[in-house]
Amino acid sequence: MRPRRRRAGPHDQAVGQRHRFRRRGLTAAVQDLEQQPHRALADLAHRLRDRRQRRIDVLREADVVLVIGARANSMLSFLRAPRFAPDAKFINVNLDGKEIGHNRGVEVGIIGDAKLVLQQLTAEAAGKFNPKQETTWVAQLAAKQHSNEERSAPLLHSDKVPIHPLRLCKEVREVISRDTILVVDGHEILNFARQSIPVYEVGASLNAGPHGCMGIGIPFGIGAKVARPDKPVVVLSGDGAFGWNGMEMDSAIRHNGNFIVLLLPWRSSSVVTRPGPPAHHRKGMYLRA
């Protein structure tokens, strides 16, 4: 018996696009919602300036969570505590019915295209509340955000040498346009960029996502530029992550990949102060600030 074929949906189209780029020898920077699940909170996150800590508080304190197109995998801690409140109620929207209720039960499951469902929900909610009026909870989250910004302000404006990662992120934030596609590759630089560089457009923030690896910076930068040649592309990378696939700069040049690459030196690491390798080992290996 031949297996029954199902209708191709948006996820299938994205996967197909990734495969087409791979056949060209490029790694496509086309990723589905599982990489950036917090975009389902786009409106609230934008009002809170889209900082990582605020997303953590939003997820942990929310009593009702609307999950749109995202998988209940490790990127979302399987929708379980402590990342989410243990008594939170879930509404799950997904084109694939098998994903609804997977790893955590839901109060309401909706099988459908994310865009169409959101359009219907928006139309149904019209006139029933004022979306511009902040609730007490949102005001509390904003107050926490302000407190965190005051605490990190000295590092954002630090003149320390080597440059502190937050200072580098601040400079990047002030230079790039709102439609810039930002690719971040590494460990510490990814953590700092998430909390200090806001994202304003869907698909404008790319990282390793559920793959959890390093070395995606230059390949994703090439893919982003091929997919959106009209958009500026910036790759922000740690020098260790750059070492994995930095040779693909040659591919970028051969394919006219016009994008910017910024490297954070290893010695700019600020989370833990640790001794480096002997100077004669570092020579010629690590980029200087």
Q: Is the pLDDT of residue 10 over 50?
A: no
Q: Which tens digits make up the pLDDT trace of 196-234?
A: 898 888 889 999 887 778 999 999 999 999 999 999 999
Domain extents for the chain?
Answer: 37-136, 157-282
**pLDDT at position 23, please?**
34
Residues with Cβ within 8 Å of 249's Cβ and at least 6 positions away in sequence, in order, are 218, 261
**pLDDT at position 22, please?**
35
DSSP symbols for 93-158: EESSGGGTTSSS--SEEEES-HHHHHHHHHHHHTTTS-TTSPPHHHHHHHHHHHHHHHHHHHHHT-
Among 31-40, 56-65, 217-226, 264-273, name the most confident range. Answer: 217-226
Q: Average pLDDT, whole number, for the chain?
A: 77
Q: Which fold has domain 37-136?
A: Rossmann fold (3.40.50)
**pLDDT at position 237, please?**
95
Q: Which tens digits make up the pLDDT trace of 276-289?
A: 444 444 333 333 33
| Confidence at 151, pLDDT banded by 50, 70, 90 | confident
Q: Is the pLDDT of residue 68 over 50?
A: yes
- Whose tokens are 């609730």? That residue is 135
- Was domain 157-282 assigned CATH 3.40.109.10? no
Q: Is the pLDDT of residue 11 over 50?
A: no
Residues in the chain, total: 289
**pLDDT at position 54, please?**
60
37-136 against 157-282: fold identical? yes
**pLDDT at position 278, please?**
47
**pLDDT at position 28, please?**
30
Phi–psi pair at 136, nearest 5 degrees: -60, -40
**pLDDT at position 147, please?**
82
